[in-house]
Amino acid sequence: MQAALRAVRSHGAHAQGTLSYTTSPAHSLQTWLDLTEQLLETGVDSIAIKDMSGILTPMAAYELVSEIKKRYDVRLHLHAHATTGMAEMALLKAIEAGVDGVDTAISSMSATYGHPATEALVATLAGTEHDTGLDILKLESIAAYFREVRRKYHAFEGQLKGTDSRILVAQVPGGMLTNLEGQLKQQNAAHRLDEVLAEIPRVREDLGFIPLVTPTSQIVGTQAVLNVLTGERYKTIAKETAGILKGEYGHTPVPVNAVLQARVLEGAAPVTCRPADLLKPELAMLEADVKRQAQEKGITLADNAIDDVLTVALFPQIGLKFLENRNNPAAFEPVPQAEEAKPAAAPVKAAASGVYTVEVEGQAFVVKVSDGGDISQLTAAVPATAPAAAAPAGAGAPVTAPLAGNIWKVTATEGQTVAEGDVLLILEAMKMETEIRAAQAGTVRGIAVKSGDAVAVGDTLMTLA
C-alpha cells in the first residue's frame, strides 16, 4: 500500500485509505482505531469506512465514527451496502456522529446489492443542519434516465429482490453475492446457494478471519463453492486460497488453519516479509512477450502499448483473445436492448421466480423465470452429476473435470509417471485457477484436452493407467 500511496502522491492525486469493515472474534473497536492510526501514519488524505456486506449496525456506525473523529483530525467517509436493510439507518447515525461524506445510489440503481437511495437520504436530511441542498425534482429526472438503462441489463441481475438476512451471518458483499450466483449457475448448481453461504464463514475462519473484500472475498467465496460442489472440504484448494495460506497476501488478523497451511507449504516456510518484496521485475519481459505474440497473431496494439500489456497481465487467460477481437463486433455479445412492452395476454397462473433446469427433447437448459413467468437467460446446461465417459476395460482411472471451465495449462505429459497428489493440469473456473491433482499414482495416458479448451463437469481430461 505504501508503494501505491507514493505513486498517487507523485501525480498530485488524493489518496484515500480504507477500513474494510467486518466482524469476527479478531475484530473490535480498538482494531479499527489502531488501523486508522496506521493509515494516517502512511500519509493518507482521507479515510473511508467500507461496509461492503451491509453488516455495520447503526449503533456501531455511530460509535466508530464518533471515536475516530474524537481522536483524529481526518476527513471520514462511509460506504455501506443495502443488502441487509441496515445501511440507511447506519448512514443516518454516522451523519449524526460527524461523518463527512456518505455513498448513495440514485433510486433506480439502489438497494439490494447496491447502496441506499440518494433521494431518500436527501429527503430525510431536508430542513436539518445536514440539509444537502440537492433538488429532489432534478434527482428524479436522473432516476428516470437510469430506470431505462437498468431495463437493458435486467437479464444480468442477481436473484435478490429485497433484504437478505443471511448476509448477517455469511458477511457476503453485494458484488460477491452476484458472483456466487453466477458461478453456481455456470455449474448448474444454483439451488445450492444456501450451502455455499453456510460454508463461507467456515472457510473465512480457516483463512484467519480475513475481511471479505476484493480480492479475498472472491477467494473465500470460490473456495466455499469448491468445497460444496466437490462434496469434500478442501479436496481441491484453489491457487489463490493456497496463496493466503502461504502468506502471499500478507498477514491475516489471526493465524490461518495450521493443517491446511502445512498441506500447501509442503515443507517450505511461509511468507513473513512484505510479499511484494519477493516479486522479480517482470514488466519488461511481459511487454516483450506481448509484442511478440501480437506480431505472430497479426494483432495491432494500442498506441500506448502499456495499456494492452497490462490487459494481458491482469487477464492472462483471455487478454490476448480480447485484443485479437476488439475491433470485431461479431466476437462479442450484442449490446442489450430494453425489452419492449408485451401485449396483454390471457391471465395465467404466475410462475414461481427462480432459476430452473428444463429438459426439452433430452437436452437440458438453464432458464431464469421472473415474477409473472417471463423466461430469460436460456442456456444449455451440463448436468452437475453427469457421469464421465467410461474408460476402456483395463485402461485405468479417468481424471475428470470437477467444475466447468477452461483448461489453463496441462502440466502432465503423455506417458509421464506421476505420484498421488501430483498436479496434472490447471483449470480456470469461476475466475480462479484450480489444480487438478492425481488421485492415485500411475502413468498418464490419453490426454484429451489442451490449453484453452472449455470443459464441462465430468468431462474426461486424461487417464491414469
Nearest one of 79, 88, 74, 70 to 40, comparing CA atoms: 74
Cite the DSSP H helix spans in 187-326: 193-206, 216-229, 239-246, 258-265, 283-297, 305-314, 319-325
The reported pTM is 0.74
CATH number of 397-464: 2.40.50.100
Q: Quick one: CA torsion of 237, 239, 242, 248, rounded to 10 degrees?
A: -170
Question: Could you tell me the residue ranges of all domains in the chain?
Answer: 286-331, 350-385, 397-464
Residue 402 CA to residue 432 CA, distance in Å, equals: 13
Of the candidates 169, 168, 144, the one whose C-alpha atom is nearest the C-alpha of residue 86 is 168
CA distances from 311 to 193, 265, 278, 317 (A): 32, 30, 23, 10
Each of the 465 residues of the chain gets a pLDDT tens digit; together they read 888 888 998 999 999 999 999 999 999 999 999 999 999 999 999 999 999 999 999 999 999 999 999 999 999 999 999 999 999 999 999 999 999 999 999 999 999 989 999 999 999 999 999 999 999 999 999 999 999 999 998 888 888 888 988 888 888 887 788 878 888 887 888 899 999 999 999 999 999 999 998 889 889 998 999 999 888 999 889 999 999 999 999 999 999 999 999 999 999 999 999 998 998 889 999 999 999 999 998 999 998 899 999 999 988 878 888 999 998 888 888 887 776 655 555 554 544 555 555 655 555 555 556 544 555 444 454 443 444 444 443 468 999 998 888 898 999 999 999 999 899 999 987 777 888 999 899 999 999 999 888 888 889 999 999
DSSP letter (8 states) at residue 253: S
Cis peptide upstream of residue 215 (ω within 30 degrees of 0):
yes
Our CA angle for 29, 34, 40, nearest 5°, is: 130
CA 350 vs. chain centroid, Å, equals: 33
DSSP of 83-104, one letter per residue?
TTS-HHHHHHHHHHHT-SEE--
Q: Which three cell numbers stand for residue 398?
A: 479417468
Helix axes 58-71, 29-42, angle to 10 degrees: 40
